[in-house]
């Protein structure tokens, strides 16, 4: 089963995704694919909080900030993957080594589709960054458009699409495992 979860920042997406991944794994191998590349102290603190939140849940953590298909292990077909988050993954792919990479969307899309295709289960988390009425600079808009394209692709291919809004889970497609 493949589940896509989106919603506002710090809204419980990761906690929900962890619960779902553990449930889907049914005691079998499950991986937490951490995509954030820490750039400052706030990032390091967020990573520490996420690590603490999943203590005792049996996840094997894979830190993969770029080239997401590298998370596919030899046992991928029998494993559950939690990818947290597409937001960071795309930013890492688009903005690295002081350049803006035009091929980032294609690489992210291809890599995520490979993980979905080759894993037993996958739960993917992303931030919803589209409700602002603010006009952003061209580079930020390029990123937001690419993220929206990734969201559309994931919504189309995943069995379940859920949004967290004000601590409420809204199911847009499919259903959550019981």
Judged by DSSP in three states, 63 sits in strand
Quote the pTM value.
Answer: 0.93
Task: Flag whether 150 is in a domain.
Answer: yes
Helix or strand or coil: residue 40? coil
Residue 178 lies in a domain: no
Q: Comparing 54 with 117, which gets the higher pLDDT?
A: 117
| CATH of residue 99 | 3.40.50.300
pLDDT category at 50 given cuts 50, 70, 90 is confident
In a domain, 9, yes or no: yes
Q: Which domain holds residue 7?
A: 2-173
C-beta neighbour count of 55 within 10 angstroms: 8
pLDDT surpasses 90 at 8: no
Shortest CA distance to 49 belongs to which of 60, 34, 64, 62? 34
- The number of domains in the chain is 1
Structure tokens at 17: 């995704």
Cis, bond preceding 143 (omega within 30 deg of 0): no
Looking only at the bridges linking them, the beta strands covering 121-127 and 2-7 are parallel
Q: Which ranges of 66-118 would DSSP assign to H, the alpha helix?
A: 86-94, 104-118
Q: Is residue 50 part of a domain?
A: yes
Report the mean per-residue pLDDT for the chain: 92
pLDDT for the residue 101: 78
The 10s digit of each residue's pLDDT in 125-138 is: 999 988 777 888 98
């Amino acid at each position: 089963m493949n589940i896509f979860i989106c919603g506002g920042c710090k809204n419980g997406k990761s906690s929900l995704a962890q619960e779902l991944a553990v449930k889907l794994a049914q005691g079998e191998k499950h991986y937490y694919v951490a995509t954030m590349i820490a750039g400052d102290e706030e990032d390091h603190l967020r990573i520490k909080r996420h690590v603490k939140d999943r203590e005792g849940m049996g996840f094997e953590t894979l830190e993969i900030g770029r080239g997401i298909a590298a998370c596919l292990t030899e046992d991928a077909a029998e494993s559950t993957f939690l990818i947290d988050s597409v937001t960071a993954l795309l930013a890492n792919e688009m903005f690295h080594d002081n350049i803006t990479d035009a091929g980032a969307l294609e690489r992210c899309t291809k890599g995520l589709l490979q993980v979905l295709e080759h894993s037993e289960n996958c739960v993917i988390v992303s931030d919803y960054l589209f409700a602002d009425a603010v006009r952003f600079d061209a580079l930020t808009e390029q990123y937001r458009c690419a993220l929206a394209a990734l969201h559309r692709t994931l919504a189309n291919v995943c069995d379940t699409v859920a949004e967290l809004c004000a601590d409420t889970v809204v199911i847009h497609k499919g259903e959550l495992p019981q």
